[in-house]
Structure 1
Amino acid sequence: MIRSYKEIADTGLDDLYEVQKAFDNVHAIFTLMLQHFPEDSTGNAFAQLGVLEVNDWSTKVFQWCERMENELDDVDAEMQKSVQLPHHLLDLRSNDVAEAISAERKHATRWWTHLNEMRRRKELPGWVAADIGTHDEHDLLLESRKAVNQVLFGSLDLGGDQTNRVIQLG
């Protein structure tokens, strides 16, 4: 199970409130002891020490809870202000990213086409021509595009008719 830091902090805060309740219960026990033991008895002295100690720790836990609540409120406010990016990007950012990826892909496709044509005319050195413009390379290009789309947009859709080869690659 993977939990965010905020979820862990929320759980810690809930636990601190439970500790606060426990201190209240212990305080009630010491208060009862004070009422039932005579003032000059050992039991009454222990109850007085217990009340002082529980009050001190109860105050510390209460202050800690207040600080944690304030910090968590600040985190909530920051989360509300910033757009959270889950598995796929949202709204305006999604459009910006899609446009940037599309522009990069257009540029890459243009260069791939030029290199393929140069390979077909035997204008490239053999060590370059071996992998340029082949069916395998085209398939690899489409697979990498699908992987990017899946990660960013939650879809393998490339848009258009990109999975079909219109021109026979030589």
Structure 2
Amino acid sequence: MSRSYKAIAETAVQDLYEVTSAFDSVSAIFTLMLEIFPEDSTPHAFAQLGTLGLKDWYTKVYQWCECMENEMDDANVGAQKAPPLPHYLLDQRSSDVAEAISAERAHATRWWTHLNEMRRRKELPEWVAAGIGTHDEHDLMLESRKTVNQALFGSDDLGGDQQYRAVVLE
């Protein structure tokens, strides 16, 4: 699972607010101790120290929450004001992605071909050779390429790849 930095920050702020609620609960315990134990007792002194420490931490955490919320608000406003990428940059990125995918596919096809040839020459262990170079595997590869193209470019077109088998696979 992959979350955006914004989602992580929002979760962190919510968690910190929950910490302040926990501080309130602990503070209630210290307040009760202050009421029950005599002023000259050790538990009363501990309750006073605890109350002071909690107030300090409560303030720090609450200020941190407010700061983070302000930063996230500023980031949201900045993101909304940011101009969209110029069309030529989008085209260039699409072109770069298409080239990278094409290079990866050429590499994968080269290795698939080598493994298929090794399978045909019976140079692979049976457990490896069982799924290499079959019609089903080739069809699966073409389908996955179509899926990637559809997701990235909105088209099933495989470009220069042929959607049929030019040679009979064994």
* Paired-residue identity, %: 62
> What is residue 36 of structure 2 aligned with on the other side?
36
Pairwise CA distance, 1:28 = 1.1
Alignment CA distance shift 1:80-1:42 (3 Å): same
Residue 49 of structure 1 is matched in structure 2 by 49
Mean Cα displacement is larger for which, 3-12 or 76-85? 76-85
Deviation at residue 83 of structure 1 after TM alignment: 6.1
Q: Distance in 2 between matches of 1:83 and 1:25?
A: 47
**Cα distance in 2, alignment partners of residues 3 and 82 from structure 1:** 22
TM-score of the superposed pair, with normalisation by structure 2: 0.52
Distance 1:58 1:84, change over 3 A: farther
AA in 2 matched with 1:154: G
Structure 1 segments unaligned to the other structure (5+ residues): 86-91, 102-145, 159-170
Indicate the residue corresponding to 1:165 in structure 2: none
1:61-102, Cα deviation, whole Å (9 max, x unpaired): 0111011101111121122223678xxxxxx849x849xx8x
> What is the aligned partner in structure 2 of residue 22 from structure 1?
22
Which ranges of structure 2 fall in alignment gaps of 5 or more residues? 96-145, 159-170
Kindly provide the amino acid, as one letter, of the partner of residue 53 in structure 1. Answer: G
Query: Where do 1:125-164 residues align within 5 Å?
Result: 150=150, 153-156=153-156
Q: Deviations over 1:86-122 (max 9, x none)?
A: xxxxxx849x849xx8xxxxxxxxxxxxxxxxxxxxx
Q: Which has the larger radius of gyration?
A: 1
The residue type equivalent to 2:2 in the other structure is I
How far the C-alpha of 1:60 sits from its partner, in A, is 0.6
Bigger relative contact order, structure 1 or 2, given CA contacts below 8 A and separation 6+?
1
The aligned length equals: 107
Q: Hey, what's the Cα distance between the residues in 2 that align with 1:152 and 1:84?
A: 19
**Cα shift at 1:155:** 2.8
In the alignment, which residue of structure 2 is the partner of 1:66? 66
**Once superposed, what is the RMSD of the aligned Cα atoms?**
3.4
Q: How far apart, in 1, do the equivalents of 2:36 and 2:147 lie?
A: 74
- Could you report, residue by residue, the CA deviation over 1:17-74 in whole angstroms, capped at 9, with x for unpaired residues? 1111101111111111111111111111010000000001111101110111011111
